[in-house]
Amino acid sequence: MGSKFWPKGGLPETLVAFEYTSSTIRKPHSLLFIGGLGDGLATTSYMADLVNALQPTQWSIFSLNLSSSYGQWGLGHLDRDTDEIAECVRYILDYKTSKFGTSKIVLMGHSTGSQSVLHYLHRPNPHISTPVFDPYLQHVTRPAVDGAIMQAPVSDREAILALLKEGFGDKSASDMQEVYDQMEAMAKDAARHDQSIDTLLPLALTSQIYPGVPISCRRLMSLISPESPQAPQGDDLFSSDIGDEQLSKTFGMIETQALLRGPLVVLISGADQSVPNWVDKENLLRRWKNAADHGGKYRIWDDEYSGVIPGASHALSNDDQAEPRKDLATRVLGYVHRLEQN
């Protein structure tokens, strides 16, 4: 079943959400899935496992097409993503409530979709930023959600640093470093000029790291965040070298913003290709939990279902991923079932 919605303000009819539901089972509750960089409607392969797992339940899954979906992520930003997610959440709640009465909703982000989920939960509501490069940003008030799942939250900055050490394709590490240095220099130069213009980097450069994707200087700076870990930019939420003080401003603000009624589930893929081998995944989860729970003062973190999924690749799409996909689906199913009971 397909469902379509439009935000306010006369924007083009490009925001689309498709619902995986049933004509025979009552489904008052919803899981809204948000993909990562380059993803769009149902492009994340393990969604089929989630749909099958939730088919006999009262939960349906929505797959959302953001304005930054597919190859447009290089021009997007998290404030706009979360404004669009808020519009979708409100649409789904209105739709389900009118049809079923009481309704619950969970956000689930994959990869950079996890950045959107954390951004949704910890930033001021509505956003208070006024980006001159995006005068149409509407500062939508974000509805509270009943649950949130972040799967494969990875650091784009650390993934690029690993690429520079190892090389990419037929390019050596030194070749990649040269390309990276050129992009960073151009992005920094653009930042010193008119910020109302979102300058594009040359495709001849960006395609050597991000094939076929137009990327603005602004978005690149947000992803590579060259002033991190001291002053991380908006997209740098999950780097392992981010200090506890900074984590208190992201994970630590979830309780303050009060947009999450249930606990937070965070799942790291044990064999994630995008996570460098120097990252201690278990320790990273402990630090995020400590920040979210304020050292035990609150209970934001879900201990039962959060954790490292053994053997899981980044998107659980490899041929050997049957068991990790089953593990993921079991965790999601158990989590939403418990939310439904509570």
Let me know whether 111 and 176 are in one domain: no
Q: Provide the domain count of the chain.
A: 2
Residue 231 lies in a domain: no
Q: Domain check: are 68 and 177 in the same one?
A: no
Is the pLDDT confidence value at 33 over 60?
Answer: yes
Domain boundary among the residues 167, 198, 224 is at 224
Residue 130 lies in a domain: yes
Contacts of 71 (CB under 8 A, 6+ apart): 38, 212, 213, 214
Same domain as 55, residue 186: no
Tell me whether residue 234 is in a domain.
no
The chain-wide mean pLDDT, for the chain, equals: 92
**Which residues neighbour 144 within 8 Å (Cβ) at sequence distance 6 or greater?**
258, 259, 260, 261
Q: Before 7, cis peptide (omega within 30)?
A: no
Dihedral over Cα of 46, 168, 240, 130: its sign? negative
Only one residue has tokens 């910020």, namely 195
Element (H, E) at 220: helix 217-224
Look at residues 199, 224, 249 and tell me which one is the last residue of a structural domain. 224
CATH number at residue 48: 3.40.50.1820
Q: Are residues 68 and 106 in the same domain?
A: yes
Q: What pLDDT does residue 10 have?
A: 38
What is the tens place of the pLDDT at every residue in 278-319? 999 999 999 999 999 999 999 999 999 999 999 999 999 988
Range of the domain at 161: 157-224
**13: pLDDT confidence band, cut at 50, 70 and 90?**
low
Is residue 11 over pLDDT 50? no
**How confident is the model over 82-140, as pLDDT tens digits?**
999 999 999 999 999 999 999 999 999 999 999 999 999 999 999 998 888 888 888 99
